[in-house]
Structure 1
Amino acid sequence: MPGRKTQREQAKEMLWDRGIVRLSEFKSAGITAATIGRMRDDGDVIRLARGLYQLPDAPLDANHSLAEAAKRVPKGVVCLTSALAFHELTDQLPRSVWMAIGKNDWSPQDEPALRIVRFTDTLLAQDVKTTSIEGVPVKVFAVAKTIADCFRHRRSVGQSVALEGLQEALRQRKATPAEIARSAASGGVSTIVRPYLEALTANG
């Protein structure tokens, strides 16, 4: 049919619109794996990881790894040290992206670039913000919630990292003491966070 778009053209349009596209998304749109393979061989697309593709000239955001992680784990929420880094509350640069998922959600296997943490459905739904990175919707926990979670998982991320996040959030005024106290209460770490919060705000 005249004017009908080829699979290559459709694939390029999807990549322009979405930034990063999974192979399963191409297949759902009627674009075959063979077409994507040929496009990769010709340099029309680049393979970021298993089943993830992007245009070769797409601008890379500083938070590119978060966009990749969101594509790999669509139900996941960026959390803990990765969320602290996103909110510019730590100097830590985690090698893997920390992602929170539900207790019964599917978890990708053999993904060294991801660190999966399971949250209850209630905690997973609290204070989630959605941002766009390279055209990909990425869910990230808000500042106060992230700090409370870091204290809750302090054995995994380190107590010093949780304290750094708390100090920086207050210093940069990215969360109020009241917001942090509420999140700590919701996460069951009020008694742990309160002494640090009181000490840091005593002269404020």
Structure 2
Amino acid sequence: MRDLRPLTVDRVADLAGDSALCTFWQTVPRNGAVLPSEPFDLLSDWVREVTVNWGAPGRIAYIDDRPVGHVLLAPARYVPRLAAFPTTPSDPATLMLLTIRINADQHGRGLRKVLVQTAVKEALRHRVRSIEVIAARPQAVGKHPCVLESTFVENLGFRVARDHPVYPRLRLDLRTIVTVRDGAAAAVRKALAKVSGVQPVPETPPDGATRARVTRAVD
């Protein structure tokens, strides 16, 4: 049975999954090196700070009580690593999708798509109209595993907000039904309907014709 639970301090250890705890977005290189710190302690402090000032910075997916993946998101003010990117948002309140990581045995089962849907619902709960992400294009050299691929997020409806040859910043407008398709899209439509002031609107392409955007299913 799959279950999605808020990221809390007592669940930080469950972020590891099949790999080491990732502190990429929570740290900033100093003179080419990251200051030494225990990943568990660093993430625990970060989760505590964001939770107190904003809310739970993500969700963890469990299957039969075993953690199998997670999604992290937080306002830009709580993401130190953004300062290292040329496409960092100017507004510290911008809600950023940071990363989605899943266990190796979950690839091909649509879990990443479910986690994006969860991030959208969390954004709506905070009355946010968009989510942004700094993603890596295929030509990125030495891409960190915690940085999402631009192809993946574009296939979910994110569109370039500030372009860059390697690390563009993309945005998902939550007033449009442009997310993952099928059952996930229906769930987002239902969530949107409950949020005052946020109304789904059709996408209008440059030619002025209003039509639904079609996105292909991705993992």
Please give the TM-score of this superposition, normalised by the length of structure 2. 0.38
Please give the TM-score of this superposition, normalised by the length of structure 1. 0.40
Q: Which has the higher helix share?
A: 1
